[in-house]
Amino acid sequence: MNKKIQKILLKKNKSKIVSLTAYSKSIAKILDQYVDIILVGDSMANVLYGHKNTHKISLKNIIQHTLSVKLGVKKSLLVVDMPKGTYNNFKSAEKNIKLVINETKCDAVKLENNKKNYKIIEKLTKRKIPVMGHIGYTPQFKKKFKIEGQTRSETLKLLKEAKLIQKAGAFSIVLECLSPHSAKLITRELNIPTIGIGSSFYCDGQILVTDDMLGISGFYPKFVKKYVNLNRIIAKAVKKYSREVKLKKFPKIKNFLNGTKRRK
Ligand code: KIV
């Protein structure tokens, strides 16, 4: 088994798993120093491309961004979100996932669950393709946002889903927007680590969309903690640059290229 995946599995019940999303090398390089898992999420559809959902992001988009992210990753586990429509049946899932793995050399892929793809996950994991599951609010398949697992019967359904994904061979599972009670029960009942987003502190690890926690996406639901307001910091720097160019304060003689090295 991939050593990075082994390391993640060993953290269950010992130490929390830290995960964030990345879509480019520069961000990935920073994250790589502090996180266990970097996800090239299809959330790039909303965050980068301004789509109203994640449905239209293509395999080509995902591969292109993963190639960039890969350049910044040395130690973290690199997981790639498979876009909607790329794993409708085993044949297309295998073809598309192999393309992603071969082109990007990522470590694993993530598949959102639609309650029909257990067999697909099982066949993939039997062929040694590492799969991360994803249940709860799964934007590829659910039209309306809702906190999942608020009643006992919903919780039991989610637990069954999670167990089937584990049985199919997934090495971990994202729990998105689950009630604390459901997240606690599922985390306790599974042997594989759970990674929560909007699902309380009971999960084995946490993931956030990096642009949200850095304050650049403009999307700040209650479960996101904005660790910095990067929008404000960037705006301040750009305003200063703009003023200096107009006032001919930039560039200065020290910024002239004679005798200095240019970036290749
Ligand atoms: O696409 C994404 O960023 C995700 C995370 C929110 C888990 O799937």
What pLDDT, in 10s, does the model give residues 210-247?
Answer: 999 999 999 889 999 999 999 999 999 999 999 999 99
Judge whether 189 counts as a catalytic residue.
no
Residue to mutate, 209, 212, 214, 219, ligand 1, most ligand atoms under 8 Å from C-beta: 209
Q: Is the distance from the beta carbon of residue 210 to the nearest atom of ligand 1 less than 6 Å?
A: no
What pLDDT is attached to residue 258?
77
Global pTM reads 0.96
In eight-state DSSP terms, residue 148 is B
Helix (H, G, I), strand (E, B) or coil at 103: helix
pLDDT tens, 98-141? Answer: 999 999 999 999 999 998 899 999 999 999 999 999 999 999 99
Tokens of 47: 């965050």
Q: Is the distance from the beta carbon of residue 19 to the nearest atom of ligand 1 less than 6 Å?
A: no
Residues near 96 by beta carbon (within 8 Å), at least 6 away in sequence: 59, 82, 86, 87
What is the whole-number distance in angstroms between the Cα of residue 210 and the centre of ligand 1? 10
Pick the CATH number of 3-229 from 3.40.50.720, 3.20.20.60, 3.30.1360.70, 1.10.150.80: 3.20.20.60
What is the whole-number distance in angstroms between the Cα of residue 49 and the centre of ligand 1? 15
Q: Cβ atoms within 10 A of the Cβ of 32, count? A: 17
Tokens of 78: 């690199």
Question: 61, 90 in Cβ contact below 8 A?
Answer: no
Q: Is the distance from the beta carbon of residue 174 to the nearest atom of ligand 1 less than 6 Å?
A: yes
| Atom 8 of ligand 1, residue of closest alpha carbon | 41
Question: 250, 244 in Cβ contact below 8 A?
Answer: yes
Domain boundaries, the chain: 3-229
Q: Could you tell me which residue, 128 or 262, shows the higher pLDDT? A: 128
Residues near 26 by beta carbon (within 8 Å), at least 6 away in sequence: 72
